[in-house]
Amino acid sequence: MRIGEAIALDDADFDPASGILTIRHGRFGKARLLPLHATTTTAPSAYQQTRDRLLPRRASDALLVSSAGTRLCYDRTCHTFHRLAIQAGLTPRSAACRPRIHDLRHSFAVASLLDCYRAGGDAQALLPRLATYLGHADPKHTFWYLTGAPELLARAAGRLETRPGGNT
């Protein structure tokens, strides 16, 4: 999800029983449902329990809150991500190209397609679902997320070479 979508989540948007996260304030005002893997569902539930124990009287219905119990703000969240990226040893490629929280969406998209290729699946058939999951209005908007990933491009090229009429 986009950072703004995460910040806009309320407690009511997370349904741990069904493993569904409802994005109500998506881009262009669109809403969507995000199914979560069972292992992912436990993290927000544990967070809510800890948050409610530490902040029994929150100032907001937000799912994710600051230490004051208020909804997170975009700039502070990005700053915190930057600090955590440094602590995790993620190094900038250059002064102008450093890890950003939004890069996680790109990594997710590339990893999803790589997993599909590794499993021998149909990556083309995955694209519309991936686009929906990312909140893109059309799969063509997902394609630019996938460019510049050398391993993904090599997998795609390898498939072209082994197709009938290919180079091999």
pLDDT in tens, 96-125: 778 888 888 888 888 988 898 889 888 888
Greater confidence, 151 or 165? Answer: 151
Topology, domain 3-87: hpI Integrase; Chain A (1.10.443)
Give dist(CA 142, CA 131) in Å, integer.
Answer: 6
Burial 8-36 (b: 16+ CB within 10 A, else e): bbebebbeeeeeebebeebeeeeebebeb
79, 92, 99, 148 from 95: Cα distances, Å: 16, 7, 11, 19
**What's the average model confidence in pLDDT over 29-34?**
86
Under a CB-based contact definition with an 8 Å cutoff, are residues 84 and 99 in contact? no
pLDDT band at 64 (very low <50, low <70, confident <90, very high): very high
Q: Residue 45 above 80 pLDDT?
A: yes
Report domain extents, the chain: 3-87, 103-162
